[in-house]
Amino acid sequence: MSPDIGMEWTVEWATPSATGDEFFENLVLSREQAREYGDELVMTLRVDEQVLKVRGLDPREPFAWKIDDEALVTKSVSRRTFEAVADGDRHDSQYARQVLENRAKRRLSKSL
């Protein structure tokens, strides 16, 4: 199954805080994305639960992002799409695999 998002998008899934009551993520920019963002020195953009909610995203669900015309653009993606990225060979596939593995480990540790 191929993901239903273009290669210009990067998948992401916000990390819950240790208490589980907040979500956050650091979006790592490539040099090209930093240039497109308008500041070559910007290496990461931190997004939290509020930022995601303002953008109409559920912080508990995966999303995709890209830099377009010096702005961060986001959209919701399904868990199935996120899993398809993890199974593929895109630029963000390894990250997606790590996220799924870490989420599975967290669920296991909570159930013990």
Band of pLDDT at residue 2, cut at 50, 70 and 90: low
Residue 44 falls inside a structural domain: yes
Domain that holds residue 39: 10-78
Residue 73 falls inside a structural domain: yes
Band of pLDDT at residue 43, cut at 50, 70 and 90: very high
For residue 32, which of 6, 7, 5, 67 has the smallest C-alpha distance? Answer: 67
Residue 32 falls inside a structural domain: yes
Residue 26 falls inside a structural domain: yes
At 80 the pLDDT is 95
Number of domains forming the structure of the chain: 1
Residue 107 falls inside a structural domain: no
Band of pLDDT at residue 1, cut at 50, 70 and 90: low
Per-residue pLDDT, averaged over 104-112, amounts to 82
pLDDT tens per residue, range 63-82: 999 999 999 999 999 999 99
Residue 58 falls inside a structural domain: yes
Decide if 64 contacts 75 (C-beta within 8 A).
yes
Residue 48 falls inside a structural domain: yes
Residue 20 falls inside a structural domain: yes
